Chains A and B, each alone.
Chain A
């Protein structure tokens, strides 16, 4: 079976740094995606990792360790608009994308 785990909720302060972890156990692996989803809206692409290491994209960075089945999304200089759900998704060798349940991040002033 496929299993992707993320914390359900996190809270952080405006201007701070927050790390959202994701662990996965899947039958096959062909990349890991992070999506941002505001309430009532569709997911939007944030980052993609297929090799081990850190990918940086402005205020957002994502890390992958395939041997540990682990990824994290790092958000720097938090803004109020970053309050959203963050979905970790694993792409299987078939191309299918399997999602975690998402982490709801609340940014407080």
Chain B
């Protein structure tokens, strides 16, 4: 089945140690999004790729970076995770920017 896959499902990292979360999709959608969702809060958009064009939200910390080497894959890099970065990270895709999103299962990040 066509889908959005996030790996790993759970990630534990040490304070300050770089960590990378991955997202892949078989839907051939041209737009990919990364959201951060903290406990009992709304998902917050960090950035998105429209094809190869990277779009950063104004309030996304510099600590967060993203790479999209091809249509199928997108990575979220956290350069120096802090305790406040512990959250669920959701990847989503859409065909163009005006259509519904398909979400991956999310990666729950714990910082110790």
Residues of A within 8 A of B (CB): 4, 30, 33, 40-45, 48, 87, 91, 94-102, 104
Residues of B within 8 A of A (CB): 31, 33, 40-45, 48, 88, 90, 92, 94, 96-98, 100-106, 108
B102 CB to nearest A CB, Å: 8
Known contacts: A42-B104, A42-B106, A43-B103. The answer to whether A101 contacts B42 by CB under 8 A is yes
Q: Which residue of B lies closest to A44 (CB)?
A: B103
Given A43-B90, A95-B31, A95-B97, answer yes or no on A87-B42 (Cβ-Cβ < 8 Å): yes
| Inter-subunit contact B106/A41 (CB<8 Å) | yes
A99 touches B100 (CB 8 A): no
Contacts of A104 in B (CB 8 A): 40
Taking A40-B88, A95-B94, A98-B45 as known contacts, 7 extra A-B pairs with beta carbons closer than 8 A to each other, sorted by chain A number, are A30-B98, A41-B105, A41-B106, A48-B100, A91-B98, A97-B92, A99-B43
Q: Please measure, in the bound complex, the distance between the C-alpha atom of A45 and the C-alpha atom of B4, giving whole angstroms.
A: 14
Contact partner of A101 (CB less than 8 A), chosen from B41, B48, B108, is B41
The one of B94, B97, B100 that contacts A94, using a Cβ cutoff of 8 Å: B97
B48 to chain A, nearest CB (A): 7
How long is the Cα–Cα vector from A97 to B102 in the complex, in angstroms?
12
Docked complex Cα distance between A91 and B108 (Å) = 25
Contact B90 A99, beta carbon cutoff 8 Å: no
Residues of B within 8 A of A43 (CB): 43, 90, 103
* Structural contact, B42 and A96, CB atoms closer than 8 A: no
Q: With A40-B108, A43-B90, A91-B98 given, is the CB distance from A97 to B45 under 8 Å?
A: yes
Are B90 and A42 touching (Cβ within 8 A)?
yes
* B42 lies within 8 A of A100 (CB): yes
Residues of A within 8 A of B104 (CB): 42
Task: State in angstroms the CA–CA spacing of A101 and B37 once bound together.
Answer: 10
Contact B106 A97 (CB under 8 A): no
